[in-house]
Structure 1
Amino acid sequence: MKNYIKKKIEINKIKNACNLAAKVLEMIEEHIIDGVTTNHINNICHKYITNELKAYPASLNYNGFPKSVCISVNEEVCHGIPNEKILKNGDIINIDVTIMKNGYYGDTSKMFTIGNISNEAKNLIKITQECLYNAVKKIKHNENLSIIGKTIESHAEKYNYKIIKEYCGHGIGKNLHEDPYILHYKNDKNKIKIYTGMIFTIEPILTTGDGKTILSKDGWTVLTQDKSLSAQWEHTILVTENSYEILTLRKNEFFY
């Protein structure tokens, strides 16, 4: 358990990396428009991270991933490789940003929309964000870590959405992915406790379909098998003495 607890100097460095990751999502919003390619969006993010933030886009070359951010559109679940795909009216898009600064990582993702999207898409995006927020509110010292997955799945089930169970949240610090791993579904076998000083991500993925996935021929992009829509939101969270702090909270983000 001691390995999960971050020292003050580590917390400050992770906070900085997380703040920079949030800035990328704030910056890119005005560029998510009808007619641009996901590769164009990637290139803007890359230049901003390296030139303006003086940081490293941690997705780039991570286990061979070829781009600086993950961009997943519509039925793409996660790890979408930016390419020459043109974004269009009605699309829903997740952009996942990981930053490495001074040896420490920050990780966050956000849903974006273009033009008029369907009510089905609006509801999916809304409920997925609610799943994240509801789970964050459950975080407190000495609580069971499994409360996160229980909270997320219970809320998703109310609206007949499925959790994509293959992907989970994770500890973060000197490494992008560290223990403990955070399941987004009910799992009472996990007896790990939440303690002050832990930092981890919560990043639920919901779908309107049956929850089954397939891997694209590119070896990275994950899609829903039934081509149903998918949505994801992610924040990095610090457990404080009496509560929690969302390290990747964006300006003007209304946390409810």
Structure 2
Amino acid sequence: MDVTTAIAAGVAILIGATLQRLSGTGVGLVVAPVLAVLIGPVAGILVTNATTVVSGVLILLSMRRDIEWRRYVGFLPGIIVGAVAASFVVRAAPVAWLQILIGGIVLLALATTFGLPDMPHIRSGALGPVTGAIGGFFNTCAGVAAPVMVINAKLTRWPQSAFAATMQPTFLTMGVLSVVSKITLGATTLDELPPLWMFGGIVVVVVFGILIGTFLSARVSSRAARNTAITLAALGGAAALIRGLLAL
């Protein structure tokens, strides 16, 4: 990774961490398509997964009082199934098709999540595992699970503060399972991860993002932060899709 690429990746992580602190989502949405374009779909999403682990741990500490652990546990079985299934897809798909898959998932998820009118209120206990499975699959393939989780929040009428807090251990778990399943099943290797010293840089950038998000939290609404994340994710998703189509 050259200096220019590292700086661009750092800026994407900083913006994503700031938006995640403000609205509960942002790291995967912003970072995944950008890194997929910068360093490739396999390494880019793997680094995104690792970054969500770091951001999940750090943001969780500041929002832990609002976490609804029962909801988190409800997602967990589905997340495991989704991550394993997606790892087989990543292992089998050519690079160009992975770029197209990443861009397509990002754009489709955004359009589906934020383009729909009011949704019905669903109380079924099956919704948690189903959401976890789709989110785990999307996260492992494309580094983007937030739109799926937002749909769940809309269907269950989940208050924003509890949703934002609960997403931190959820995204953390998705990140860990994505990395472990892809390495274990041969979809990628440890060599695709950045060197250990770079994780120190990721931690510093994420901390700065959290501090900026905390400072802005009294000045910027969660809706405005989410809309910013959506716009940036759409641009990145379109870039990944176009790059994949050109590579064919």
Give TM-score scaled by structure 1 length. 0.31
Report the structure, 1 or 2, having the larger helix content.
2
TM-score by length of 2: 0.32
Q: Which has the larger radius of gyration?
A: 1
